[in-house]
Chain A
């Protein structure tokens, strides 16, 4: 599905990503964990075309995404749920979803009602608030709306940037349950998280990113047992 090879990218002269290689196979949840400033968001933004590739390549369904505009990458089936929700706060919940279905509506000449129904079924609370302005939703609801909006494009790969930030543990649990359900329905998820424990708990595989380099990778269960990971990211003392 997604193959990243020797990817380097950054802002101006600042090199944030250093020779990153990773891949995501269809139907799996892959997580990237790491501390603040490790380059997690930059990696997602580079895949999505918001940050320019300096060298290396990103293959998505065997197409090189290197120099493609972000909106075309979305149209090709790779959607990002951005960090901090980024909903259209002055527009209603339903309008947000309709806008999320922009590429789908373009492809199918209309028909996004079925997708809207599917998102409402996934997040019933959004249905209750469909006429409410997105900015008036709680943090958890906004996160659901951001996910719903990305799902409206029927992406083959959905990337999520820190969906748990600033949310109560119970809501985080809820959202992670939905991510699991998405995987079980055949979706492919690339999940970036600081909450390493929760992310590794639902993921199939994981990568550990530190100062722009991948320092560890493997099955999520193995990473959970790994002493370095436990000490650095799970806050567990090991002796």
Chain B
């Protein structure tokens, strides 16, 4: 066997790698969910938000300190998210789900081409937040890069922050109302269109933050979006569309499966795993691991 025997240290190492990727997938999936919940569509440009966040931050570090560069990049991506909604989605009058999905695919191609022209094909990365690529901390005998802890920490904070936002703020409550019943929300006097814009802004924001913290370890380039979108989509479906806590569980599951697959399968198969899981779940349990088939039956898409 050319593969290493699994030692406890190696196990921890794989586990952390799995959690890191898993939580990134979860963030992309939550981005899908936020927009899905208010509009009923899958925004296939979600991966591009991650790309734009990372790439913009890398450019900005030339002009300002990194924390500020990241903040500016996240803000810019949020504005782009709002513009995308206002230019392409808002003025459509009762568009079909399919039409909106195709629009988001178009937006994703547009964003990628724009990124190619702006930044070229080169692969870039933000500097490590603490230390450099060889700095490590030892956890249970395994050597872990501090950046991994940054990714896990920041993404967990975002997940917690989002659930608090949706549960306890009035704006969050109004967004949930639009998700639960858009017409009834309108009849309460809530401007549902603004809530849709807000959902694009939120999704763009969390995508951009993820794009920044992951950049030092995963690198950023103009075409990283679709791959992330497929992983995030798999996770969103696996958890059950619209359910963000389930997305975290499903994200960690996929991340960890991928990480451990390296020890039994050639690396080239890693990306095939997500696609296989996606196909399997769509055939066997289209409402996801945690969703109910009854609720799925009522959904338009």
Q: How far is the CA of A55 from the CA of B190 in the complex (A)?
A: 27
- Inter-chain contact B186/A50, CB cutoff 8 Å: yes
Q: Which of A75, A91, A102, A106 has the most CB of B within 10 A?
A: A102
B189: Cβ under 8 A from any A Cβ: yes
For B268, list chain A residues within 8 Å (CB): none
Task: Say whether A86 contacts B181, CB under 8 Å.
Answer: yes
Q: CB-CB contacts of B183-196 with A at 8 A, as 1s and 0s? A: 11111111110000
Q: A residues within 8 A CB of B180?
A: 88-91
One digit per residue, 1 when the CB lies within 8 angstroms of any chain B CB and 0 when it does not, for chain A 66-80 equals 000111001100011
Residues from chain B with a CB closer than 8 A to the CB of A82 are 183-184, 187
Q: How far is the CA of A149 from the CA of B180 in the complex (A)?
A: 15
Which single residue of chain A is at the shortest CB-CB distance from B295? A90
- Chain B residues near A91 (CB, 8 Å)? 173, 176-177, 180
B188 touches A153 (CB 8 A): yes
* Interface footprint category on A: 20 to 34
B223 at the interface (CB under 8 A from A): no
Q: Contacts A50-B183, A82-B183 hold; do A88 and B177 have CB atoms under 8 A apart?
A: yes
A95 within 8 Å of B (CB atoms): yes
| Pairwise interchain contact A102-B188, C-beta atoms closer than 8 A | yes
Let me know if A99 and B177 touch, CB within 8 A: yes
Across the two chains, which residue of chain B brings its CB closest to A85?
B184
| Interchain CA distance A190-B188 in the complex, whole Å | 18
Contact of B189 with A103 in the complex, beta carbons under 8 Å = yes
Given that A91-B176, A91-B177 are known contacts, is A71 also in contact with B191, CB under 8 Å in the complex? Answer: yes
Provide the bound-state CA to CA distance between A48 and B183, in Å: 11
In whole angstroms, how far apart are the Cα atoms of A227 and B176 in the complex? 50
Contact residues in A for B176 (Cβ distance below 8 Å): 88, 90-91
B99 to chain A, nearest CB (A): 17
Interface residues on B, range: 10 to 19
For A87, what are the chain B residues with a Cβ–Cβ distance below 8 Å?
Answer: 181, 184
**B188 contacts which of A69, A89, A90, A103 (Cβ < 8 Å)?**
A103
The answer to whether the Cβ of A191 comes within 8 Å of any Cβ in the partner chain is no
Main secondary structure of the interface of B (DSSP, over half): helix
Question: Within residues 182 to 217 of chain B, which ones have a CB less than 8 A from any CB in chain A?
Answer: 183-192
Contact (A150, B187) CB under 8 Å given A88-B177, A102-B174:
yes
B184 to chain A: closest residue by CB = A86
A69→B194 CA distance, assembly (Å): 13
Contact between B189 and A153 (Cβ–Cβ < 8 Å)? yes
Instruction: Point out the residues of chain A lying under 8 angstroms from B170, CB to CB.
Output: 98, 105
CA distance A11 to B186 in the complex (A): 19
Asked if A100 CB lies within 8 Å of chain B CBs, one says: yes
> Is the Cβ of A74 less than 8 Å from the Cβ of B177?
no
Is the CB–CB distance between A80 and B173 below 8 Å?
no
Closest to A106 in B: B189
Contact A71 B189 (CB under 8 A): yes
Assembled-state Cα–Cα distance A102/B189 (Å) = 7
Contacts of B185 in A (CB 8 A): 88, 99
B191 partner residues in chain A, CB cutoff 8 A? 69, 71
Contact A74 to B184, CB < 8 A, known contacts A91-B176, A91-B177 = no
Among A48, A90, A95, A98, which residue has its beta carbon within 8 angstroms of that of B187?
A48
Complex Cα distance, B21 from A191, in Å, reads 56
What sequence of 0s and 1s flags, for each residue 143-166 of chain A, a beta carbon within 8 Å of any chain B beta carbon? 000000110010000000000000
- For the complex, give the distance between the alpha carbons of A80 and B189 in Å: 11
Subset of 22 A-B contacts with CB under 8 Å: A69-B191, A70-B187, A71-B190, A74-B189, A79-B187, A82-B183, A86-B181, A86-B184, A88-B176, A88-B185, A89-B180, A89-B181, A90-B176, A91-B177, A99-B173, A99-B177, A99-B185, A99-B190, A102-B174, A102-B189, A106-B189, A150-B187
A-B contacts besides A99-B177, A106-B189, 5 pairs, CB < 8 Å: A48-B187, A71-B186, A82-B183, A86-B184, A102-B174
